Structure 1
Amino acid sequence: MRRSAVPGLGADGYPVPWRAWLVIAVLLLAYTVAFVDRQILSLMVQPIRADLGLSDTAVSLLHGFAFAIFYTFLGMALGRWADRGSRKALMVGGMVLWCLATVACGFANSFGTLFAARILVGVGEATLSPAAYSLISDTFAPARRGRAMSTYTMGIFVGSGVALILGGMAVTATANQAAVVLPVVGSVRAWQAAFMIVGLPGLLVAGLMLALREPARQERGAAKDLPGMAETFAFFRARAGTLLAIVIGFGVNAIISYGLSAWVPSLFIRVHHWSAGEVAFAYGVILLTAGCAGILAGGWLADRWTAAGHADGALRASLVGMAAVIPVVPFIGLAPTPALALAALAWTSFFLGVPTGIAPAALHAITPNEFRGQVTALYLFAINLIGLGFGPTLVALATDHLFGSDLAVGHALALVTALAAFVAFALIAWVRRGYGAAVTAIRATPAL
Structure 2
Amino acid sequence: MAARGAGRAEDGGYPSPLRAWLVIAVLLLAYTIAFVDRQILSLMVQPIRADLQLSDTAISLLHGFAFAIFYTFLGMFLGRWADRGSRKAMIAGGMVLWCLATVACGFAQTFHQLFAARIMVGVGEATLSPAAYSLISDYFAPARRGRAMSAYTMGIFVGSGVALILGGLAVTAASQEAAVTLPLAGTVRPWQAAFMIVGIPGLAVAGLMLLVREPKRQERRKGDHPLPDMAETFAFFRARAGILFAIVTGFGVNAIISYGLSAWVPSLFIRVHHWSAGDIAFAYGVILLTSGCAGILCGGWLADRMTTSGKPDGALRASLLGMAAVIPVVPFVGLASSPALALAALAWTSFFLGVPTGIAPAALHAITPNEFRGQVTALYLFAINLIGMGFGPTFVALATDRVFQSDLAVGRSLALVTGLAAIVAFALIAAARRGYGAAVAAAHR
TM normalised by structure 1 equals: 0.94
Mapped to 1, the partners of 2:407 and 2:85 lie a distance apart of 50
Amino acid at match of 2:132: A
Mapped to 1, the partners of 2:2 and 2:206 lie a distance apart of 36
Deviation, 1:61, is 3.1
Mapping for residues 281-292 of structure 1, pairs under 5 Å: 281-292=282-293
Change (3 A) 1:56 1:332: closer
Q: How big is each residue's C-alpha offset from its partner over 1:127-176, in whole Å with a ceiling of 9 and x where there is no partner? A: 00000000101110000000000010010110000000111012112323
Mapped to 2, the partners of 1:88 and 1:382 lie a distance apart of 24
User: Secondary structure of the residue that 2:175 maps to in structure 1?
Assistant: coil
Change (3 A) 1:320 1:82: same
Other-structure match for 1:388: 389
For structure 1, list consecutive stretches of 5 or more residues without a partner in the other structure.
none
Mapped to 1, the partners of 2:387 and 2:169 lie a distance apart of 31
Mapping for residues 223-242 of structure 1, pairs under 5 Å: 224-242=225-243
Amino acid at match of 2:177: Q
Mapping for residues 298-309 of structure 1, pairs under 5 Å: 298-309=299-310
Percent of residue pairs identical? 82
Other-structure match for 2:83: 83
Change (3 A) 1:36 1:431: same
Q: How many corresponding residue pairs?
A: 444
Say whether the 8 Å CA contact 1:92–1:209 is kept in structure 2.
Answer: yes
Other-structure match for 1:337: 338
Deviation, 1:418, is 1.7
Other-structure match for 1:379: 380
Other-structure match for 1:366: 367
Other-structure match for 2:141: 141
Change (3 A) 1:415 1:250: same
The more displaced of 280-289 and 21-30 is: 280-289
Deviation, 1:4, is 8.0
Mapped to 2, the partners of 1:428 and 1:192 lie a distance apart of 41
Deviation, 1:3, is 4.6
Mapped to 2, the partners of 1:224 and 1:90 lie a distance apart of 25
Amino acid at match of 2:136: I
Mapping for residues 111-150 of structure 1, pairs under 5 Å: 111-150=111-150
Mapped to 2, the partners of 1:48 and 1:418 lie a distance apart of 29
Amino acid at match of 1:384: N
Change (3 A) 1:170 1:418: same
User: Secondary structure of the residue that 2:129 maps to in structure 1?
Assistant: helix
The more displaced of 315-324 and 182-191 is: 182-191
Mapped to 1, the partners of 2:183 and 2:395 lie a distance apart of 43
Deviation, 1:278, is 1.4
For structure 2, list consecutive stretches of 5 or more residues without a partner in the other structure.
none
Say whether the 8 Å CA contact 1:302–1:313 is kept in structure 2.
Answer: yes
Deviation, 1:388, is 1.6
Mapped to 2, the partners of 1:306 and 1:124 lie a distance apart of 34
Say whether the 8 Å CA contact 1:4–1:10 is kept in structure 2.
Answer: no
Change (3 A) 1:9 1:312: closer
User: Secondary structure of the residue that 1:14 maps to in structure 2?
Assistant: coil
Mapped to 2, the partners of 1:44 and 1:5 lie a distance apart of 46
Change (3 A) 1:279 1:114: same
Other-structure match for 2:312: 311
Other-structure match for 1:426: 427
Other-structure match for 2:263: 262
* 2:149 is the counterpart of 1:169: no
* 2:71 is the counterpart of 1:71: yes
Q: How big is each residue's C-alpha offset from its partner over 1:93-148, in whole Å with a ceiling of 9 and x where there is no partner? A: 00011111111222233334333222211110000000000010111000000000
Other-structure match for 2:154: 154
Other-structure match for 2:348: 347
Mapping for residues 315-326 of structure 1, pairs under 5 Å: 315-326=316-327
Mapped to 2, the partners of 1:415 and 1:49 lie a distance apart of 24
Q: How big is each residue's C-alpha offset from its partner over 1:282-303, in whole Å with a ceiling of 9 and x where there is no partner? A: 1111011000000000000001
Amino acid at match of 1:200: I
Mapped to 2, the partners of 1:326 and 1:315 lie a distance apart of 17
Deviation, 1:30, is 0.1
Other-structure match for 1:437: 438
Q: How big is each residue's C-alpha offset from its partner over 1:393-437, in whole Å with a ceiling of 9 and x where there is no partner? A: 222333344444433322222222122111111111111111112
User: Secondary structure of the residue that 1:310 maps to in structure 2?
Assistant: coil
Other-structure match for 2:13: 13
Mapped to 2, the partners of 1:97 and 1:122 lie a distance apart of 9
Other-structure match for 1:274: 275
Say whether the 8 Å CA contact 1:70–1:123 is kept in structure 2.
Answer: yes
Change (3 A) 1:212 1:283: same
Mapped to 1, the partners of 2:259 and 2:221 lie a distance apart of 36
Say whether the 8 Å CA contact 2:300–2:358 is kept in structure 1.
Answer: yes
Q: How big is each residue's C-alpha offset from its partner over 1:345-394, in whole Å with a ceiling of 9 and x where there is no partner? A: 10000000000000000001000111111111110111111112222222
User: Secondary structure of the residue that 1:273 maps to in structure 2?
Assistant: coil
The more displaced of 154-163 and 46-55 is: 46-55
Amino acid at match of 1:32: T
Change (3 A) 1:9 1:209: farther
Root-mean-square deviation (CA, aligned residues, Å) is 2.2
Say whether the 8 Å CA contact 1:9–1:16 is kept in structure 2.
Answer: no
